[in-house]
């Protein structure tokens, strides 16, 4: 293994231990690692966005020897207007690129969310309830009822009383089970991340793991 | 005009995307192409804005010698080192005999990414594993029916998604073992709850997007 | 205070240096030792149970230590655990298994190294399966680090199976088109033309039209199957919303465990053909493809960690109910 590779592994191990040391208590090493993380992270995204966005989407397109494009110039003008946010006098100009971003997102999301997250999901809920095995029938009824009651819970324009309140209560029960399942999976995910770090520390660095 | 022009921009761009969804042919797909590239370029400038803001805050901390100012200096130094390496490697790659990308394996940027950024980022997120366990021990209580349902669902899912759950319930028929309970919870009540949330969000998003495109919702423009 | 911190730091540094240079490598516990350790841990938890019930809650640092032990010790044990394949993982596998030799699969790598412990094993098993069954892979990423993770997965597959280095040709059997900025807007444009988004690959910088595996691949309609490895946004949700529902792409997903519960409605509505959730999903995928890797190795640690959390929750709740009954 070369010097830089070895040095890199030791440095990565030092950073890993530095962050983990926060579990004992806040300390200088942790604070230093946190500061380095913030700086390196900002620098990483700064560089990536320059090369992958500005350079590829603007510079390479406008300077293409065969087919130069003109439209990226307008994107850069809007981008520069974004930076006017730092000034109090002309900061209002940053509203133009902001309006562009908000409009683009609203336009695309309105369609895709409506189709994928509303229509297709409703289609998937309204299924024949009397088909399949007994287990399938119960499952389909529960999914339909649970979705319906959950939606009733989220309808806050009417007071949750009587039958409406009862349905909302059932909706809460389904939502609690959903959150419990999400919690279980979140625990699994966080443990997996720590397993990866332990594999690095005790496997790659200390070479103790077979 | 300080508010009217942005509202007009929002309307035109939003409408272009809606029309392009139904008519993905010229000239509407051209609008989609241009707007997508502009969106990406603006996002790059937004990141630069964020980075400049970070530098400004850190520099002020150092100038006024506030507590923890050495760490603010460390932030600036790390930032400058990372961007220097990124730009140097990028331009070296363009003008090399055999062109390469700034992030290719073997470059200094890749080394910084693998040995500095990646361990710090991964460990920061991994720390949550410990806090989740500590919080569960101290605060996760079945105080009422709803909390009990949450607890039971988490219990079955955590046990059922690893083999130990099936080992503990191996004396039961396969249909009633822990992994089957976890699968049932994920496929039935979890799906119902997630669907309700999804549909609710989608309907809310559609109405908000429509209000934004039509200029009825203007809070994103801020004050005067 | 600073002196105490320095002493503790020095002791920890010495412990790590001893572990690095003086301990025999690798360490492997025999079955007997493993069983003894498990019994000792069980006794420790019983002791914690007694303390908690008496009202003496253990400190958070002790909990952290317990979690650390539960995560670390299984690495040195030699148990293998039986694993059931869930229907959602089987669905993902069946989608791949139904493909004929020469079929083209689009693989989107939308994660960073922080999520690699969960998703990288799935990716490696996926590549190994495709290489063995003459399935052509077109790699791309919506996250900057995703395309690099794909290269690492291929490299790991080739290191484990050296014959791939001779049999698998870059450009003919697989290609890496790299990262493209723009999130879901990239997918929208890919619906019209892949070449518009990815004019060149990132490994050899070849023009799109000169790459054999991309011959006759204009957009999603020329793809036989798709798989998405996702850790957040942009990821599976965006792919389903744009590529699946708008362009009728057949897709399976591998998600981090945090994201997986949110993907189940898509699975049930048949927008996804299969779903691999978290590390256990990865282990199941390794088992069903026969390409065992890190997910299977990590599963024992995962199991111990879950048991620790569950036992702590049960202890805490037992003490809570006992206190409640006493107050009544």
Question: ipTM value of the model?
Answer: 0.90
How remote is the C-alpha of B21 from its chain's centroid?
25
For residue C109, tell me if it sits in a domain.
Answer: yes
Output the CA angle A161-A162-A166, nearest 5 degrees.
85
Please, which residues have CB within 8 angstroms of residue C303's CB and are 6 or more apart in sequence? B162, B163, B164, C74, C81
Identify the three-state secondary structure at position C22.
coil
Residues from chain C contacting residue B158 (CB–CB below 8 Å): 306, 309-310
Task: Work out the number of other CB atoms within 10 angstroms of the CB of residue C47.
Answer: 11
* Nearest-angstrom CA–CA distance, C36 and C42: 10
Shared-domain flag, residues C238 and C138: yes
Interface membership of B188 toward A (CB under 8 Å): yes
Shared-domain flag, residues B34 and B82: yes
CB–CB contact B164 C303 (8 Å): yes
Average pLDDT over residues A80-107: 88
* Nearest-angstrom CA–CA distance, B123 and A199: 12
CB–CB contact A192 C28 (8 Å): no
CB–CB contact B122 C114 (8 Å): yes
Tell me, what DSSP letter sits at residue C86?
P
For residue C16, tell me if it sits in a domain.
Answer: no
Domain boundary among B79, B104, B129: B104
Where is average pLDDT lowest: B36-50, B104-118, C107-121, C308-322?
B36-50
For residue B119, tell me if it sits in a domain.
Answer: no
* Nearest-angstrom CA–CA distance, A150 and B121: 36
Interface membership of C268 toward A (CB under 8 Å): yes
Shared-domain flag, residues B35 and B84: yes
Q: How far is C68 from chain B (nearest CA, A)?
A: 8
Task: Share the mean pLDDT of chain C.
Answer: 91
pLDDT in tens, A13-70: 999 999 999 998 888 899 999 999 999 999 999 998 888 888 887 888 888 888 888 8
- Which B positions 64-103 lie with beta carbon below 8 A of chain A? 68, 71-72, 74-83, 86-87, 90, 101-103
Average pLDDT over residues C172-194: 90
Find, among B16, B21, C263, C243, the residue nearest to A111 by Cα. Answer: B21
Q: Compare all CA atoms of chain B with the CA of C242 and give the residue at the minimum distance.
A: B21
Find, among C188, C190, C48, the residue nearest to C106 by Cα. Answer: C190
CB–CB contact A178 C261 (8 Å): yes
**What is the domain extent for residue B191?**
144-213
For residue B153, tell me if it sits in a domain.
Answer: yes
Confidence check: pLDDT of B190 > 60: yes
Around B151, how many Cα atoms within 13 Å sit in the side-chain half-sphere?
A: 20
Shared-domain flag, residues C141 and C226: yes
Size of interface B-C (CB pairs under 8 A): 134
* Long-range CB contacts (within 8 A, 24+) of B82-85: B82/A39, B82/A40, B82/A42, B82/A43, B82/A44, B82/A46, B82/A47, B82/B112, B83/A43, B83/A46, B83/A47, B85/B109, B85/B112
SS3 content of chain A, % helix, strand, coil (to 5): 80, 0, 20
CB–CB contact C26 A210 (8 Å): yes
CB–CB contact A176 B150 (8 Å): yes
Q: How far is B142 from chain C (nearest CA, A)?
A: 7
CB–CB contact A196 B157 (8 Å): no
Confidence check: pLDDT of A1 > 80: no
Average pLDDT over residues A8-14: 94
Model pLDDT, residue B2: 80
Shared-domain flag, residues C248 and C108: yes
Shared-domain flag, residues C69 and C121: no
Residues from chain B contacting residue A142 (CB–CB below 8 Å): 188-189, 192
CB–CB contact A121 B187 (8 Å): no
pLDDT in tens, A68-80: 888 889 889 998 9
CB–CB contact C188 B187 (8 Å): no
Residues from chain A contacting residue C26 (CB–CB below 8 Å): 207-210
Model pLDDT, residue B223: 66
Interface membership of A44 toward B (CB under 8 Å): yes
Say which of B36, B125, B183 has its CB closest to residue C182. B36
Where is average pLDDT lowest: C193-207, C223-237, C255-269?
C193-207
Confidence check: pLDDT of C182 > 90: no
Interface membership of A187 toward B (CB under 8 Å): yes
Shared-domain flag, residues C276 and C253: yes
Percentage of the residues of chain A whose pLDDT score is greater than 70: 100
For residue B88, tell me if it sits in a domain.
Answer: yes
Residues from chain B contacting residue C313 (CB–CB below 8 Å): 136-137, 140, 151, 154-155
Domain containing C140 — which CATH number? 3.40.50
| Tokens found for residue B166 | 């099936």
Q: Compare all CA atoms of chain A with the CA of B131 and give the residue at the minimum distance.
A: A23
Average pLDDT over residues B64-79: 92
Confidence check: pLDDT of C6 > 80: no
Shared-domain flag, residues B154 and B64: no
Residues from chain C contacting residue B36 (CB–CB below 8 Å): 182, 185-186, 188-189
For residue B81, tell me if it sits in a domain.
Answer: yes
**What is the domain extent for residue C157?**
87-292
- Which C positions 105-134 lie with beta carbon below 8 A of chain A? 114-118
Interface membership of A77 toward B (CB under 8 Å): no
Task: Share the mean pLDDT of chain A.
Answer: 90
Model pLDDT, residue C192: 87
Shared-domain flag, residues C37 and C103: no
Give chains near C: 3+ CB pairs under 8 A. Answer: A, B
Confidence check: pLDDT of B25 > 90: no
CB C225 within 8 A of CB C246: no
Shared-domain flag, residues C186 and C250: yes
Interface membership of B164 toward A (CB under 8 Å): no
pLDDT in tens, A136-158: 899 999 999 999 999 999 998 88
Interface membership of C192 toward B (CB under 8 Å): yes
Shared-domain flag, residues C36 and C128: no
Average pLDDT over residues C217-235: 95
Shared-domain flag, residues B97 and B189: no
β-strands C225-230, C174-179 pairing:
unpaired
Residues from chain B contacting residue C185 (CB–CB below 8 Å): 36, 39-40
Confidence check: pLDDT of A111 > 70: yes
Identify the three-state secondary structure at position C109.
strand
Interface membership of C307 toward B (CB under 8 Å): yes
Q: What is the domain count for chain B?
A: 2
| Tokens found for residue A183 | 């919690």
Give chains near A: 3+ CB pairs under 8 A. Answer: B, C
CB–CB contact A183 B111 (8 Å): no
Model pLDDT, residue A201: 93
Shared-domain flag, residues B20 and B100: yes
CB–CB contact B2 A92 (8 Å): yes
Domain boundary among B104, B120, B155: B104
Model pLDDT, residue B154: 95
For residue C286, tell me if it sits in a domain.
Answer: yes
Confidence check: pLDDT of C13 > 80: yes
Confidence check: pLDDT of B194 > 70: yes
Q: How far is B60 from chain A (nearest CA, A)?
A: 15
* Nearest-angstrom CA–CA distance, C279 and C287: 12
Find, among B206, B125, B182, A118, the residue nearest to C281 by Cα. Answer: B182
Model pLDDT, residue B38: 86
Interface membership of C179 toward A (CB under 8 Å): yes
When pLDDT is cut at 50, 70 and 90, the band that residue B224 belongs to is: low
Q: What is the domain count for chain C?
A: 2
CB–CB contact A178 C309 (8 Å): no
Residues from chain C contacting residue B177 (CB–CB below 8 Å): 84
Q: Is B159 exposed, middle or buried (0-12, 13-18, 19+ CB in 10 A)?
A: buried
Shared-domain flag, residues B93 and B156: no
Shared-domain flag, residues C94 and C146: yes
Identify the helix (H) or strand (E) that includes residue C175.
strand C174-179
When pLDDT is cut at 50, 70 and 90, the band that residue A194 belongs to is: very high
Size of interface A-C (CB pairs under 8 A): 139
The residue among C66 and A85 whose pLDDT is bigger is C66
* Nearest-angstrom CA–CA distance, A157 and A10: 59
Say which of C5, C76, C271 has its CB closest to residue A116. C271
The residue among A60 and C123 whose pLDDT is bigger is C123
Confidence check: pLDDT of C188 > 60: yes
Interface membership of A107 toward B (CB under 8 Å): yes
Model pLDDT, residue A41: 93
Shared-domain flag, residues C167 and C122: yes
For residue C285, tell me if it sits in a domain.
Answer: yes
Find, among C218, C88, C292, the residue nearest to B190 by Cα. Answer: C88
Tell me, what DSSP letter sits at residue C243?
I
CB–CB contact B130 C265 (8 Å): no
CB–CB contact B140 C307 (8 Å): no
Residues from chain B contacting residue C51 (CB–CB below 8 Å): none
Average pLDDT over residues A77-102: 87
Which pTM value belongs to this model?
Answer: 0.91
When pLDDT is cut at 50, 70 and 90, the band that residue A88 belongs to is: confident
Size of interface A-B (CB pairs under 8 A): 403
* Nearest-angstrom CA–CA distance, C311 and A54: 52
Shared-domain flag, residues C54 and C134: no
């Amino acid at each position: 293994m070369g010097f830089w590779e070895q040095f890199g592994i030791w440095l990565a191990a030092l950073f890993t231990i530095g962050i983990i040391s926060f579990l004992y208590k806040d300390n200088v090493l942790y604070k230093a690692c946190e500061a380095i993380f913030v700086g390196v992270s900002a620098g990483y995204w700064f560089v990536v966005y320059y090369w992958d966005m500005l350079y590829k989407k603007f510079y390479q397109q406008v300077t293409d020897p065969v087919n130069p494009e003109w439209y990226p110039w307008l994107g850069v003008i809007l981008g520069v207007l974004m930076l006017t946010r730092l000034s109090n006098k002309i900061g209002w100009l940053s509203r133009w690129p902001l309006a562009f971003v908000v409009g683009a997102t609203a336009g695309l999301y309105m369609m895709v969310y409506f189709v994928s997250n509303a229509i297709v999901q409703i289609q998937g809920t309204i299924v024949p309830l009397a088909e399949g095995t007994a287990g399938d029938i119960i499952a389909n009824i529960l999914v339909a009822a649970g979705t319906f009651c959950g939606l009733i819970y989220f309808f806050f324009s009417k007071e949750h009383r009587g039958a409406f309140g009862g349905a909302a209560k059932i909706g809460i029960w389904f939502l609690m089970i959903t959150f419990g399942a999400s919690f279980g999976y979140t625990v699994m995910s966080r443990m997996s991340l720590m397993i990866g770090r332990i594999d690095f520390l005790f496997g790659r660095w200390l070479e103790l793991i077979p | 005009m300080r508010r009217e022009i942005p509202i007009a921009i929002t309307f035109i761009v939003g409408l272009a995307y809606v029309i392009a969804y139904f008519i993905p042919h010229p000239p509407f797909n051209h609008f989609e192409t241009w707007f997508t590239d502009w969106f990406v370029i603006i996002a790059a400038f937004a990141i630069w804005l964020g980075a400049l803001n970070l530098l400004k805050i850190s520099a002020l901390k150092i100038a006024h010698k506030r507590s923890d100012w050495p760490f603010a200096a460390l932030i600036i130094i790390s930032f400058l080192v990372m961007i220097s390496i990124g730009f140097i490697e990028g331009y070296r790659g363009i003008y090399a005999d055999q062109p390469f990308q700034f992030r290719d394996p073997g470059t200094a940027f890749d080394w910084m990414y693998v040995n500095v950024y990646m361990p710090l980022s991964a460990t920061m997120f991994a720390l949550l594993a410990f806090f989740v366990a500590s919080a569960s021990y101290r605060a996760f209580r079945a105080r009422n029916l709803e909390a009990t349902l949450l607890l039971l669902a988490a219990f079955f899912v955590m046990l059922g998604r690893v083999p130990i759950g099936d080992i503990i319930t191996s004396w039961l028929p396969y249909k009633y073992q822990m992994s089957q309970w976890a699968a049932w919870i994920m496929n039935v009540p979890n799906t119902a709850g997630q669907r309700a949330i999804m549909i609710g969000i989608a309907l809310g998003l559609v109405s908000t997007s429509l209000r934004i495109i039509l200029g009825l919702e203007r809070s994103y423009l801020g004050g005067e | 205070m600073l002196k105490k911190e320095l002493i503790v730091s020095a002791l920890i540094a010495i412990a790590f240096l001893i572990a690095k240079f003086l301990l025999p490598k690798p360490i492997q516990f025999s079955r007997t030792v493993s069983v003894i350790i498990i019994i000792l841990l069980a006794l420790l938890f019983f002791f914690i149970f007694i303390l908690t019930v008496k009202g003496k809650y253990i400190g958070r640092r002790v909990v952290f230590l317990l979690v650390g032990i539960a995560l670390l010790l299984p690495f040195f044990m030699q148990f293998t655990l039986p694993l059931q394949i869930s229907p959602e993982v089987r669905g993902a596998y069946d989608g791949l298994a139904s493909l004929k030799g020469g079929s083209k699969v689009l693989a989107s790598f939308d994660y960073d190294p922080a999520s690699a412990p969960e998703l990288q094993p799935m990716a490696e098993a996926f590549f190994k399966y495709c290489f063995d069954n003459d399935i052509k892979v077109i790699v791309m990423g919506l996250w900057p680090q995703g395309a690099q993770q794909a290269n690492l997965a291929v490299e790991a597959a080739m290191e484990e199976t050296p014959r791939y280095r001779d049999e698998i040709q870059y450009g003919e059997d697989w290609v890496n088109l790299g990262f493209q900025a723009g999130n879901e807007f990239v997918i929208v444009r890919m619906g019209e033309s892949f070449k518009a988004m990815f004019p060149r690959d990132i490994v050899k910088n070849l023009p799109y039209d000169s790459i054999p595996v991309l011959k006759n691949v204009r957009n999603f309609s020329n793809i036989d199957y798709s798989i998405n490895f996702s850790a957040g946004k942009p990821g599976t949700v965006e792919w389903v919303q744009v590529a699946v529902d708008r362009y009728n792409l057949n897709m399976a997903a591998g998600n981090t465990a945090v994201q997986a519960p949110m993907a189940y409605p898509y699975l049930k509505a048949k927008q996804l053909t299969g779903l691999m959730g978290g590390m256990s999903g990865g282990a199941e995928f390794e088992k069903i493809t026969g390409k065992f890797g890190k997910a299977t190795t990590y599963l024992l640690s995962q199991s111990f960690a879950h048991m620790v959390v569950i036992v702590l929750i049960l202890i805490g709740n037992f003490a809570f109910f006992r206190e409640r009954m006493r107050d009544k």
